Amino acid sequence: MRRLFVLLALVLAPYMTAAQSEEIVLGLSRNEVAITATFDGSDVLIFGAIKRNAPAPAGGPLEVIITLAGPDQPVTVRRKERVLGIWANTDAVEVDSAPSFYAVATSAPLADSLSAVEDLRHSISIPRVIRSVGAPDSVTDAESFSDAIIRIRAGSGLYQRLEGQVDVEEETLFRGQITLPAALTEGAYSARIFITRDRTVIDTYETEIAVFKAGLERFLFEMSRNQPLLYGLMSLAIAIAAGWLASAVFRIFQR
């Protein structure tokens, strides 16, 4: 038995060394994003280097994939159809989990950087991060509901596919930039970096970026959650004051 283990170690040693010969060293331009009353989006620069304990292995070029994902949320997707001349909800599917924001940036086309098997294993592409376990028996095309989420959120900049947007220099240094839109959900945003060769993942690195409300936005949010009665009275008072002010300005112009 011991000879068998020794033989396996000798056979697998070259592969283990090659797999660990390239590692990611990461940096971020910022590790937190504050949402204020004037927040209109932000750019996050993700950069790093490849650390090697041996010369770069022969084979295909090194590619870099960067993903940034917001907090996961369940989503109910409804389909509208015209019934008796009126648009009405006909089918609904509960998608178990979909990131509120998701961007995937690559140094080459995603299909050239990653195999389908590796995508399934690491959940990198946009369709792979949306989890929908089941749908009602009456719905025969459940995948179309996930496609609808992707289409709608891509149109509003919440889902981004940025192929060829990661710069790689001498297979050692890399940098990529992801733009966060104004409509962000609070929470921890997971940044993942993958390096691949021959469409196979060699190494991964993961970190987090905190996104939170600040200033007046934080004050109002906390009040609405912790003191709903006071928040409601303040909102009512502001509405009455705004109405009185508009009426006073209108009377002045009438004169």
pLDDT for 89: 57
Sequence-separated contacts (24+) of 127-135 with Cβ below 8 Å: 129/69, 129/98, 129/99, 129/102, 130/95, 130/97, 130/98, 130/99, 131/95, 131/96, 131/97, 131/98, 132/93, 132/94, 132/95, 132/96, 133/96, 135/93
Query: Would you place residue 139 in the very low, low, confident or very high pLDDT band (cuts 50, 70, 90)?
Result: low
Q: Is the pLDDT of residue 8 over 60?
A: no
More confident position, 135 or 206: 206
What residue spans define the domains of the chain? 22-214, 215-255
Query: Would you place residue 138 in the very low, low, confident or very high pLDDT band (cuts 50, 70, 90)?
Result: low
Average predicted confidence (pLDDT) for the chain:
77
CATH 2.60.40.3880 assigned to domain 22-214? The reply is yes
Q: How far apart are CA 166 and CA 20, in angstroms?
A: 23
pTM for this prediction? 0.72
More confident position, 186 or 219: 186
